[in-house]
Amino acid sequence: MAGKKSAGKAAANKAVNEETLNDPLERDPLFGAADVTIEKDAAAVSGGIADDTTAEPDNGKLTPEGYIKLADAEFNQAMREGRYPEIVDALGDLGYSVRNVMLIKNQMPEASHIGGMNFWNYNKRSIVKGSKAIKVLAPKFGGEQSNDPEQVADGQKKQKATGYKMSPVFDISQTYGEELKQTRCDRAFIASHYDGVKAAIAAAAGDYAFNEGAKYTSVEYADKRVNIKEGLSNEDVLKAMIRAVACIRTEGKDREAGKEISQGKAMFNELKESAIAHLVSRRIGLGDTKLKTLDFSEFDDEGLSRVASDLNRVKSVAGSIAARVESYAADIRATETVSASDGGADESAEDIFGDAFPAAQESAGAPDEMTAAGMGEM
């Protein structure tokens, strides 16, 4: 009996990993310092999530552990029902981890833009009286701190996560006030700032060089070079570059080291690369791309747990690539706003930037192949 309890606690403790490290909660001042690290082997953390998730019942209903089980069950069911594309899009639209996306969609299927109280206050929006908060998982940080030199920056110790707590967030439909400032770009912005957007995407590939005008689009990992097929439109060049960066960020180190990649791993790498490219293209205003999927109907819970972990990584990588373009767009926006206020421009920033996720049709003639350098079908 004791062995079962110990095993159960260890299994619960494993829930604390990189799950919420890149959640918007970590960027929301409501939830404390952003300079944190998640304990990789949470079973070693004193207290553990098993204690934290059973100590504070949620109004006599679900504890955080209960919400974790609910989210995992919702995810597994959705995957087995073939709703993988829907989950990928929700990760991009909401910006939360897989578990929190499942919890948000369970509580408010129509949710489109989620934030905590401090986020909405900062953006000068108030919560509509009587609105019911959406509950999401947020990491709980204890007194134990990391002394690992690789985890400590500027002499500051990073707190470790010891479990989860439930935190309230609200959808934009539950708020009122000033319009949100948009920092994401659309097709019009890309057309007028093509070279800058292209440079921002290329920067996400690190020290890889880009060569346009090639016979095929491919990545040469040994030479750290990306070849872009000749004759593509500007938008399709950007899509090909994004897919190449996704490949580099997913399997670049293994390929550069000459490691053999099994057929199974290659299949899942291609799945991740496709999802990364899809999310980045949607987020920066290039519209949807062809999203690869698999038949997950026969996957067991452990296999789907690994897929969920992969999807959290996909969200993180896609966000970091898109953020480079958005940072460039924000700089341009600030410059053009100042210029307009000085009478030097006729366009306002609102003319340049569209909605966060513009409804754009997929461009015709999109690149449809990448060569054996590991990129697969677009």
How high is the pLDDT of residue 39?
28
Helices within 204-348 (DSSP H only)? 234-256, 263-283, 301-341
Look at the alpha carbons of 6, 9, 11, 13 in this order and tell me if their dihedral is positive or negative. Answer: negative
163 with 229, same domain? no
What is the chain's mean pLDDT, rounded?
A: 77
Look at the alpha carbons of 17, 22, 25, 29 in this order and tell me if their dihedral is positive or negative. Answer: positive
Last residue of a domain, one of 177, 210, 241: 177
Looking at the domain assignment, is residue 276 inside a domain? yes
159 with 297, same domain? no
DSSP 8-state secondary structure symbol assigned to residue 266: H
**Three-point CA angle 329, 334, 337, nearest 5°:** 120
249 with 224, same domain? yes
User: Which token pair is 58?
Assistant: 């949620």
Nearest Cα to Cα of residue 84 among 272, 283, 212, 256: 272
How high is the pLDDT of residue 46?
25
How high is the pLDDT of residue 53?
31
98 with 227, same domain? no
The better pLDDT of the pair 127, 360 is held by: 127
R_g (Cα) of the chain, nearest Å: 22
Residues 44-60, mean pLDDT to the nearest whole number: 33
Last residue of a domain, one of 127, 147, 177: 177
Looking at the domain assignment, is residue 247 inside a domain? yes
Question: pLDDT over 90 for what percent of the chain?
Answer: 61
Give the start-end residues of each E strand in the chain: 36-37, 114-115, 125-127, 134-146, 158-171, 175-177, 209-214, 218-220, 225-229
Looking at the domain assignment, is residue 364 inside a domain? no
Q: Which of 41-45, 267-271, 372-376 has the lowest average pLDDT?
A: 41-45
Looking at the domain assignment, is residue 361 inside a domain? no
Looking at the domain assignment, is residue 101 inside a domain? yes
42 with 98, same domain? yes
Q: Which of 31-40, 114-123, 191-200, 352-361 has the lowest average pLDDT?
A: 31-40
User: Which token pair is 197?
Assistant: 């957007």
Last residue of a domain, one of 124, 153, 177: 177
DSSP 8-state secondary structure symbol assigned to residue 297: T
26 with 151, same domain? yes
70 with 140, same domain? yes
27 with 147, same domain? yes
SS3 96: coil
Nearest Cα to Cα of residue 112 among 70, 170, 72: 170
How high is the pLDDT of residue 50?
30
Looking at the domain assignment, is residue 365 inside a domain? no
Looking at the domain assignment, is residue 372 inside a domain? no
The DSSP bridge partners found for residue 209 are 225
User: Residue 348 phi/psi, 5° resolution?
Assistant: -95, 170
Amino acid at 251: E
User: Residue 105 phi/psi, 5° resolution?
Assistant: -65, -30
236 with 149, same domain? no
Q: In what order do the strands lie in the sheet with 225-229?
A: 209-214, 225-229, 218-220
Residue 359 has pLDDT above 70, yes or no: no
Q: Which of 28-42, 222-236, 301-315 has the lowest average pLDDT?
A: 28-42
227 with 290, same domain? yes
90 with 158, same domain? yes
Residues in Cβ contact with 5 at an 8 Å cutoff, skipping those fewer than 6 apart: none
Q: Which residue has the tokens 């995992």?
A: 72
CA distance 330 to 193: 12
Residue 92 has pLDDT above 60, yes or no: yes
Nearest Cα to Cα of residue 33 among 148, 135, 161: 161
Residue 8 has pLDDT above 70, yes or no: no
- What range does the domain containing 234 cover? 187-352
SS3 114: strand
SS3 165: strand
331 with 196, same domain? yes
pLDDT tens, 329-340? 989 888 877 766
How high is the pLDDT of residue 349?
35
Task: Please count the structural domains in the chain.
Answer: 2
Residues in Cβ contact with 31 at an 8 Å cutoff, skipping those fewer than 6 apart: 25, 116, 138, 167
Looking at the domain assignment, is residue 358 inside a domain? no
CA distance 117 to 187: 32
pLDDT tens, 179-236? 987 667 888 899 999 999 999 999 999 999 999 999 999 999 999 999 999 999 999 9
